Chains A and B, each alone.
Chain A
Amino acid sequence: MPDTVRLDHRIIYDIVEPGSRVLDLGCGNGDLIYLLAKEKGARVQGIELSEEAIYRCVEKGLSVFHSDIDSGLSEYPDRSFDYVILNQSLQEARRADFVLREALRVGKKVILGFPNFAHLYARLQLFFAGKTPITPSLPYRWYDTPNLHFLSVSDFRDFCREKKIRILTAYFLGTKRRVRFWANLFALNAIFVVSPSA
């Protein structure tokens, strides 16, 4: 794998077993699924909202559907994918809980990556400056953010407990490397691997 690959993509790459069936919800330019398909022989399908990104995916030979992720899954039978990836896209979905529930239905496992709103920088900005935080993983201003939902590592753990979602593994990311301690304070991004509890 080339060194230029993003840290979150590296982590997800390591999670996915060779030959898996993968659905990437909000696949962007398709860099991650291209890597998974090429290097791990994964069978990949993307869903993406941006027309420009669709062209980039088609250039790579990827199969991709032009759609938002809020309405994308009802046609798929239960457990039709080994992994459903929601990397940096769930927080932009209108019905985040519905999308995650659908992902958990069609995927045996769901890989979920999101920015942690409770990072130290965010807390300091909110507490001392009294301003909406801007961090490396939440780089937008209040008026131009695509994010509709803001959550922390702790929020997501609570959510899983409430919804009976099983957390299989969790990875916490700083700017360049993984964060091992006090994730809710020091992680800029989190990647959870979850499955339905039953």
Chain B
Amino acid sequence: MTVHRSRKARTIGAALLAVGAMAATLTACSSGSGSSSASTASASGGTYTFWDPYPQYTASSPWAQLVSKCGTEAGVTVKRTAYDTTALTTQALLAGQQGNSPNILLIDNPVVSTLASAGLLTTTAQNGLSTGTIAPNILDAGVISGKTYGVPIGANTLALYYNPKILAAAKVSPSSITSWATLTAALAKVKAIGKKGITFSGINTEEGSFQFLPWFWGAGASLTNVDSPQAIAALTLWTTWIKDGYAPNSVIQDTQTTSWQEFQTGQFAFGENGTWQKTLAAQMGAKVIAIPGENGGSAPVPTGGEFFTIPVQKNTASYATSAKIVSCLSSGSNIVTTDNTLNYIVPTQAGQQAQVSADPSLSSWVSAVGVAKARTGDNLGTKYPIISQQLWTAVQKAESGAATPAGALAAAQSAATAAINK
């Protein structure tokens, strides 16, 4: 009996192993066949693959339904796969290496130049996408040496959220904040009444550079010269805030999410954060102003948001259908609806007008996006990631007191130059 049972157990074990092995081979096969079906799909019917960085939207969400509707209108079935933002970059690179890129790839804007330089993306001249009335400063992240590699789904950017209750208690008028000096004076008043000044994300990842850029550009610094006096002034502003207790020490390791959580405690007067927090901001009664430049005016802010791209396929005939799906997703009322759910600003003027007339509180964001700059712009392209990494390292060193702003930025400049010339 026991012998019998143990033999049975062994058989079951072997069966399980076999099933496992088979499942492994099957998944391997399916990923292969998926690619071949994608590349052989002709304009008349077939399955088109579509990757996006929105895992929060399930198959029943309006976004997923819009994607499949646009596929149906183009006469094909769209198979949508959602990845986490950072995972999507890696996935796109690996798929490119294996020669099975998706038909349509919705990717974070600074990655477009990286993928384009790797030869993975088609230009709008090849795929027939129209860039039409898209604002040039938003489209810029997709333009490398005169060629356009995609169209933006929408744009978001950074601004300064403020807590009106704290500013009222500290007797600071939001409209008085027009330069670094007036902002720092406001922070001093806030600290004097026992509240906390400002929170931002100064972490050593891309988020840290993204958050530092408005101050960096606001001082008039350029990414090609990160140890300029203007750049030093911007970094000194941040480190002085931390030293004087206007910004908490935790900004050194805060992501934009944890920095936002700090702002949400209601103890902070200001929080540098993005368009994507505007719904939560409205819930807590927070308002928004533009990030001031050093000597007045609005500082240029970096654009965030994804681009629709059409990766290179063996079957070039598929581009036309992919372009049809993309223009369905990125035009007319579809894009306005999509950008409203994604908390994005529409990249065209007509779309922006539609958004503002539906929700007047968006007007400050529309003007922020209007002066935003692409991180990979100024023809930096793939040099941007290298410079950005050195920049956030310098920010970290200065914030934590491991180096002076001038010393940290000088080291960053020489490291970036060395890496670019490698």
A, B in one complex: no
